[in-house]
Amino acid sequence: MADLSSRNPDWWRQAVIYQVYPRSFADADGDGLGDLRGITGRLPHLAALGVDALWLSPFYPSELADGGYDVADHRDVDPRLGTLDDFDAMAAEAHRLGLKVIVDIVPNHTSRLHPWFQEALLAGPGSAARDRYVFRPGRGEHGELPPSDWRSVFGGSAWHRVPDGEWYLHLFAPEQPDLNWAHDEVRADFRTTLRFWSDRGVDGFRVDVAHALVKDLAEPLRDVAQFGATGEQALERVPPGTHPYWDRDEVHEIFRDWRKIFDAYSPPRTAVAEAWVPGARRALYARPDELGQAFNFEYLQTAWDADALRGAITGALATARAAGASATWVLSNHDVVRHASRLMLPPGTDENAWLLSGGRAPEIDASHSLRRARAATLLMLALPGSSYVYQGEELGLPEAADLPVGVLQDPVWEQTGRARKGRDGCRVPLPWTADGPSYGFGSGGAWLPQPEWFGSYAVETQAGTAGSTLELYRTALRLRRKLLEGESLTWAADAPFGVLHFARSEGWRCVTNVSHAPVPLPPGEVLLASVPLPLDGTLPPDTTVWLGA
């Protein structure tokens, strides 16, 4: 049985971590925005679910230009979400319930409201204050052109001009100026932040855009057009580690420095990198002397296809093993279309076009998509390594694809000239009750409108209901705790076409039918199935079963 006791330094290697998006989880004070006391009040839900840890997306002071990933003070709580005392109370209650607490750390940029950036604006060109960020004069006769062709992930140029004529770098929204990690004060300040939260009992960190911190700022700045592609696509066209701003080799020195801080605590603090880079490069962030784990987004991006899934799983396990890390699996998070919808989109579907159509082109059959999502979840939870579960997926919640454009909050919408709808459809406040104000999210409504079908997915509707998705997650997590030990799997040699079949080292097996036709159910005691199995000895399409040793 997996040892998840609080002092086991390896607790994270096969943990299930639940992502809380604080502003959309539960609202205790009725202002329409989720808060820390709301989370504390709902911790019993997480304990009953059976996860090992919760990871909180940013709850720090922020003007919410990017859902809180624009941080004005890394060592405080947004007053709308509570106080540091509320944080301590939440963490204490989580620990009492046996749940670890992971917080998000956002080192690539600050909010433009951060005191450092305000100081930099006032101090003017050439000042020491500007050197904590990346300010440059523009190109062109009057400096009217951006200093390079670097692109913002959210659309448009990555440079913004200030009234005195200089430009500053923002790889995300203009409200998120990038820090200069060549600056000692920047490095020192983040060490202080890591200790600040570790001293408060935080068990680990999720590191936002870990692959962006170091830029090649040698003059003249190198344009990316020379690689024949812009944005993250250009990553594939340059020798690894040499892109001007993604995944540069020097970034690892920062994480080796952080590891010394993590290891000064007992048990050592854990970390997971958010790094949208190909597998072998991703593994570098996960080395034991760095962050220890990195999100595996290739799995998330893999279509519902047996060969593709098998390849992604095998590759990820090998990559993690080579790095001395454990693998990670993610199906949903706050940046992507929820998997209960996404896995039904035919390969090659333009997700943005689908969102712009309000989720109607193509139309998704809700019961079929739920069936597939449940099969995908049981497959994920049977894999060696850690699974990251996003709030609401335990309810089988689909994407709210039909949010009217007038309510969108994601900066992506405006920054792309209203071309990309963005990520709000997976961030709608959770339904806790079948009806009532904002389906139990809070008494003051919800900051994004909840679709009228939300109530049928509510926690209250599903808790204790045999066959519900919530009960499936609960049972799966309970069973997983009992079954887990080793970190390897062996593929069955005789799996039919379209079927994933592997045994864990303890002998129990997982079989998923990804094909369109029923297949014979392999022999063995059925421990759990993603939907009730027929009595004819077959495993229907879009179904996963766990079989005893």
Quote the CA–CA distance of 308 and 109 in Å, as a whole number.
35
Strands 526-529 and 543-547: antiparallel
Quote the CA–CA distance of 85 and 79 in Å, as a whole number.
11
Full 3-state SS string of 267-309: CCCEEEECCCCCHHHHHHHCCCCCCEEECCHHHHCCCCCHHHH
- Please, are residues 381 and 393 in contact by the beta-carbon 8 Å criterion? no
- The reply on whether position 335 binds ligand GLC by CB under 6 A is yes
Q: Which is nearer to ligand GLC, 134 or 209 (CB)?
A: 209
How near is the Cβ of 379 to ligand GLC at its closest, in Å? 24
Q: Which is nearer to ligand GLC, 232 or 305 (CB)?
A: 232
Q: Which is nearer to ligand GLC, 297 or 432 (CB)?
A: 297
Which one of residues 21, 25, 55, 69 is an interface residue with ligand GLC (CB under 6 A)?
Answer: 69
- The reply on whether position 209 binds ligand GLC by CB under 6 A is yes
Alpha carbon separation from 173 to 65, 109, 146, 410, 525 (Å, rounded)? 8, 10, 15, 10, 53
How near is the Cβ of 367 to ligand GLC at its closest, in Å? 30
Mask: binding to ligand GLC, 341-380, rule CB under 6 A, as x and -?
----------------------------------------
Q: Which is nearer to ligand GLC, 243 or 504 (CB)?
A: 243
Q: Which is nearer to ligand GLC, 388 or 432 (CB)?
A: 388
How near is the Cβ of 274 to ligand GLC at its closest, in Å? 6
Range 94-113, binding ligand GLC (CB under 6 A) = 106
Quote the CA–CA distance of 102 and 205 in Å, as a whole number.
5
- The reply on whether position 295 binds ligand GLC by CB under 6 A is no
DSSP string, 487-525: S-EEE-TTPPTTEEEEEETTS-EEEEE-SSS-EEPPSS-
Q: Which is nearer to ligand GLC, 69 or 329 (CB)?
A: 69
- The reply on whether position 175 binds ligand GLC by CB under 6 A is no
Q: Which is nearer to ligand GLC, 269 or 334 (CB)?
A: 334
Q: Which is nearer to ligand GLC, 35 or 66 (CB)?
A: 66
State both tokens at 130. Answer: 């500007």
- The reply on whether position 546 binds ligand GLC by CB under 6 A is no
Bridge partners for 82 per DSSP: none
Quote the CA–CA distance of 9 and 267 in Å, as a whole number.
5
CA angle 153, 276, 499 (to 5 degrees): 125
Neighbours of 318 (CB within 10 A): 14
How near is the Cβ of 427 to ligand GLC at its closest, in Å? 9
Query: Angle of helix 84-96 relative to helix 36-49, nearest 10 degrees?
Result: 10
Quote the CA–CA distance of 325 and 43 in Å, as a whole number.
29
Range 112-141, binding ligand GLC (CB under 6 A) = none
Range 265-284, binding ligand GLC (CB under 6 A) = 274
- Asked, as a colleague might, if the bond just before 147 is cis with ω within 30 of 0, I would say no
Bridge partners for 509 per DSSP: 503, 547
- The reply on whether position 208 binds ligand GLC by CB under 6 A is yes
Which one of residues 35, 66, 393, 399 is an interface residue with ligand GLC (CB under 6 A)?
Answer: 66
- Taking CB atoms, the residue at the shortest distance from ligand GLC is 69
- The reply on whether position 172 binds ligand GLC by CB under 6 A is yes
Q: Which is nearer to ligand GLC, 68 or 384 (CB)?
A: 68
Query: Where along the sequence are the contacts to ligand GLC (CB under 6 A)?
Result: 66, 69, 106, 172, 208-209, 274, 334-335
